[in-house]
Amino acid sequence: MNIGITNTPATNPESRDAHPGAGLTLVLGGTGKTGRRVADRLAQQGVPVRIGSRGATPSFDWENEKGWSACLTGVEAVYITYAPDLAMPGAQDAIRALTIAARQHGVKRLVLLSGRGEPEAQACERIVQESGIDWTVVRASWFNQNFSEGAFVDLVLAGTIALPAGMTPEPFIDADDIADVVVAALVAPGHAGQTYEVTGPRLMTFADIAADLSAATGRQIAYVDVPHDAFMAEVTASGAPKDVIWMLDYLLATVLDGRNAHLSDGVQRALGRPPRDFAEYARGVAATGLWSE
């Protein structure tokens, strides 16, 4: 559930120092939260990487299927992220078209970032699973990084996280853990056919999030539960893109109903270690000064 769309360029547009036995990997959304982390990790391991984004060469655009062939040429593995969310109308058609194109280009491995508790996202998972290509699904909950790289950073800076989230607990997951799982699935054996439902180590309400942020920053950061309609009206008035408005409405009104209020062991199964706790993430970001007044 990557609800932030702020992108930062990856440091390696296309690495050519090949990892022994590793072919070219296309990282879709390669400038986004998980994509740039995956691309950087692959490049550090010597795996040749092609960034899939509208600003890359060749350019990848979900709305321009004609350009996909150039991106898929010579590619052995693909990390698939669909922005802003697989629950969006049209996502299933796009994922189906991509899997067909990938198979035509001889792609051998697909890793899909999916959304936890989203029936539409699970429909996209089935498309990938039935593609005829080795697959791994990484099914994630809300990202820690939404508070530092995405939609909620301004709320933290303002000192008030005002959201229509009630006291529903969520198992927030760190984007670095997601990236580590994805990279393992892309380059290591034993992950084909696996669905890794990844969560953090504890359930947290947004009030818990505010408390951890307060402790990390030394500032008072409050959580305020606000009416859903009023929040969406404010988001709309802010000039946010229509797809972001739609996604926030969907996630806050539909998915945040308690359906994800349980922990999963995807990080442990994939990596053999526990996931990173939100408090550790918060301390790390606070040390950079990002949330300083």
- Name the pLDDT band for 151 (thresholds 50, 70, 90): confident
pLDDT at 243 over 50: yes
Give the side-chain half-sphere CA count within 13 A for 100. Answer: 7
Average pLDDT over residues 54-59: 96
- Name the pLDDT band for 8 (thresholds 50, 70, 90): very low
Could you give phi then psi for residue 172, rounded to 5 degrees?
A: -55, 140
Q: Are the C-beta atoms of residues 28 and 81 closer than 8 Å to each other?
A: yes
* pLDDT at residue 22 in the model: 65
Q: Are the C-beta atoms of residues 91 and 123 closer than 8 Å to each other?
A: no
Q: What rounded mean pLDDT belongs to the chain?
A: 92
pLDDT at 13 over 90: no
* pLDDT at residue 83 in the model: 87
Q: Are the C-beta atoms of residues 175 and 148 closer than 8 Å to each other?
A: no
Residues in the chain: 293
* pLDDT at residue 293 in the model: 65
My answer on whether omega of the bond before 58 falls inside 30° of 0, hence cis, is yes
Contacts of 45 (CB under 8 A, 6+ apart): 19, 22, 183, 187
pLDDT at 18 over 90: no
Cα–Cα distances (Å) from 105 to 18, 93, 109, in that order, read 20, 19, 12
Residue 19: helix, strand or coil by DSSP?
A: coil
Q: Are the C-beta atoms of residues 29 and 84 closer than 8 Å to each other?
A: no
Average pLDDT over residues 110-130: 97
Which pLDDT tens digit goes with each residue over 181-199? 999 999 999 999 999 999 9
Residue 255: helix, strand or coil by DSSP?
A: helix
* pLDDT at residue 193 in the model: 98
* pLDDT at residue 198 in the model: 98
CATH class of 24-203+258-283: alpha beta
Lowest mean pLDDT among 65-69, 180-184, 209-213, 245-249: 245-249
* pLDDT at residue 15 in the model: 39
